[in-house]
Structure 1
Amino acid sequence: MNLRGQMKFWLISLALFIGFMMVFSEVMLPFVAGMALAYLLDPVCDWLEAKSMGRLTATLTILFVFLIVLILFFLMILPVLGSQLASFLDSLPELVKKLQQLVSSNFGERLLSMSGLSGESLQASMGELITQGASWMGGLAQSLWSGGQALLSILSLFLITPVVAFYLLLDWDNMVAKIDGWLPRQHLDTLRGLASEMDRAVAGFVRGQVSVCVLLGLFYAIGLAVVGLNFGLLIGLGAGLVSFIPFVGAGLGFMVSLGVALVQFWPDWTMIIGVGIVFAIGQFLEGNVLQPRLVGKSTGLHPVILMFALFAFGYLFGFVGMLIAVPASAMIGVLARFALKQYLASPLYTGTGRSKATQEE
């Protein structure tokens, strides 16, 4: 197959994949979660196999331990989170009203002088802004719910995902060997090298970022609870979990915490500043300790590119798109760097009749 035929084949394959994802995105969540779980746990299964444990026994052991830990976590944390979430949703209208009154009464004159609006206009503008913000957050929650609900409701995530993970984890090595057998023999070494680089990029980011999100969530939750912030556990864990989107988790968590702190502690600036210190320390730990040690530069992508990928994939495929955004971007980045390397070694770049690589030989 010539170059034009190869390009046509891969473009058609890409179009079919995108079409498949767009059509079935609402039912893909349990399967994508199962694939991610199998991918994360495969190294542990390989380690147990190296300790003379059979693949089936290792798979059952890993999934059993994982489910026990998950169940214990939900039994200990979920009731508290559910109670805080219900209280937060019940008190949200009153919190927004008090926050609006507090800002108007204490910062109204300064805002009036800066904006040039009348008091009524400023209050109406603030009310409209807060209403729009609440509407946006409600729309986001509804989008995440509808995208994650799947065909048989959210319960399918907990019923189907372990089954999918079990079968994939059991046959992981066989599937990798089967796919390797489909690769064109002429470019086998190149394709294996690209696949290994993609695996390192995806594994390094996903496994590292999961650890970062968990540690940040625990830190924010404990820190906000120590400060005495209402709904601190809920806000802290939420900010940590959303940290898989660069800057969004900490920013959203800080804004919500600041609003709650202003209503709860005003005019005691000490406690309000304490909330800010918790997030400042969290950002310092994330940028200088957790990210460099646990994630590093495994994807080779700029944070702005990662943010764009998350929003673009989320817009196209919903919540499932956000789950696959970073792995897909990391793989695309590997292919882009390989294409750039080929271009820099080609006559198109060197301006000669032969490629740079051929000349060096």
Structure 2
Amino acid sequence: MDGITVEVQRNFQEFRFIPTLAEILSYFQQLISTATNVVSSTAAIGVSVVGGIVQVLFTVLIVFFLSLYLTKDAPQIRTYVEGLFPSTYQSELVDLLRRMGFIWQAFFRGQLVLSLTVGTTTWLALSAVGMPGALLLGIFAGALEIIPNLGPVLAMIPAVIIALIQGSEVLSAWGISNFGFALITVAIYFIIQQLENNILVPRIIGRGVNLHPIVVICGVAVGFNVAGVLGALLAAPVIASLRVLGSYVHAKLLDYEPFIGQSLPPMRERRPFVYRRTVTGKELKAIDETQPEVDNSGVTSAKAAGSTRSEPSTSPGDVSDHENKSLDTTPRLA
């Protein structure tokens, strides 16, 4: 009888489903340890992501204000640089600076257009599939568009994480799981990037920069290691400018004429804005405070920034004739 009792107790201990107090405490300790690790890892990832976003935005602001000042003082900078070289090389230097300036103008103008286009398209596409926070993700995608080739990949990562964790209320009604929603998100970003690389970039930036994507990716990696986010941002125009400079140096070393068969669009003539007084008898001045010049033909001109703009002037005799005609209102009999 005792042997049967011992056997029953042993079998009961093997098949029992109620844990002991020590096992419960052990489970709680493991749960607390796992939760602590998850929270610490999530906090570290969040801090790094926020720090990266702040760094990118700060870099964008620096580049924005730098481009404003460079645009404002571009004529003075060009004149100063041209004065550093002998007069025999100044014509070639003007052509070289113009080509490099065309690269940078095309790059910054194109990046602005691409950022707005990609950000808006991403927001609309993610909103259509029910992505939580689609507007913020669209803004994030537009901001990271300034990083060539790698920006869309970095912008896709938080969207995929959100898709895996939260899912979509729109697609869940069709029986699509969170994993399927993540795949759809990857497809959306992939399609947008392909449309950008094959349609937008060649039309907007391709003519000014004209670099192979592999060259751009390698340049972004080297620029990031050398100068951080700013180096990655400016890698493409720097490489294109170095290519133009290298072709010029190569042509001069071999005693060739530089830039043969490489044409640029004609420069647009910049007309100065002239401030005109509307009250009779006031002095006519241009925006650079230059005095008007009156030539023998009776045309008043204001010279500013190397170009002229003229306005017809009336002589005293013409004014008196006009006044006499306006005052002569008596009816004439036939």
TM-score (norm: length of structure 1): 0.48
In structure 2, what is the Cα distance between the partners aligned to 1:327 and 1:225?
Answer: 34
Matching residue of 2:215: 305
Selected match of 1:332 from 226, 229, 242: 242
Q: Equivalences for 1:71-90 in 2 at 5 Å?
A: none
Distance of 1:227 and 1:142 partners within structure 2: 29
In structure 2, do the counterparts of structure 1 residues 211 and 187 end up closer, same or farther at CA, with 3 Å as the change threshold?
Answer: same
Counterpart for residue 215 of structure 1:
117
Unaligned runs of 5+ in 1: 1-123, 347-354
5+ residue gaps, structure 2: 1-33, 258-334
| Residues 135-154 of structure 1 aligned to structure 2 (within 5 Å) | 138-139=47-48, 141-142=50-51, 145=54
1:213-237 deviation per Cα after TM superposition (whole angstroms, max 9, x unaligned): 2200111012112211112222222
- Percent identity over paired residues: 23
Once the two structures are TM-superposed, the CA of residue 210 in structure 1 deviates from its matched residue by 1.9
Residues 1:252 and 2:154 are matched in the alignment: yes
Report the structure, 1 or 2, having the larger helix content.
Answer: 1
Question: 1:176 offset after TM fit, Å?
Answer: 2.5
Cα distance, 1:328–1:229 mapped onto 2, change above 3 Å: same
Change (3 A) 1:254 1:142: closer
1:225 aligns with 2:114: no
| Residue identity matched to 2:139 | L
Residue 262 of structure 1 is aligned with which of 164, 184, 209?
A: 164
Question: Is 1:318 the equivalent of 2:210?
Answer: no
Give the superposed CA RMSD: 3.9
Q: Is the 8 A contact 2:148 2:233 kept in 1?
A: no
- Residues 300, 333 of structure 1: 8 Å contact kept: no
Aligned equivalents of 1:318, 1:218: Cα separation in 2: 27
1:167-186 → structure 2 map (5 Å cutoff): 169-186=71-88
The match for 2:203 among 293, 299, 309 is: 293
What one-letter code is carried by the residue in structure 2 that aligns with 1:312?
V
Letter of the 2:208 partner, please give it: S
| The structure with more strand, counted as a fraction of residues | 2
Larger radius of gyration: 2
Q: Partner of 2:309 in structure 1?
A: none
Distance in 1 (CA, whole Å) between partners of 2:212 and 2:46 is: 27
TM-score normalized by the length of structure 2? 0.52
Change (3 A) 1:146 1:197: closer
Q: Give 2:153's aligned amino acid.
A: G
- Tell me, in whole angstroms, the C-alpha distance in 2 between the residues paired with 1:179 and 1:148: 32
In structure 1, the residue matched to 2:273 is: none
Report the secondary structure of 1:183's partner residue: coil
Which amino acid letter does the alignment assign opposite residue 314 of structure 1? F
**Cα distance, 1:194 vs. partner?**
1.6
Residue 336 to residue 142, structure 1, CA distance change in 2 (3 Å): same
Task: Report deviation, 1:192.
Answer: 1.8
Which gives a bigger RCO, structure 1 or 2 (Cα 8 Å, sep 6+)?
Answer: 1
CA distance in 2: counterparts of 1:340 and 1:168, whole angstroms: 28
Q: 2:95 aligns with which of 178, 193, 206?
A: 193
d(CA) in 2 for partners of 1:137, 1:307: 27
> What is the distance in 2 between the residues matched to 1:147 and 1:282?
21
CA distance in 1, matches of 2:212, 2:64: 31
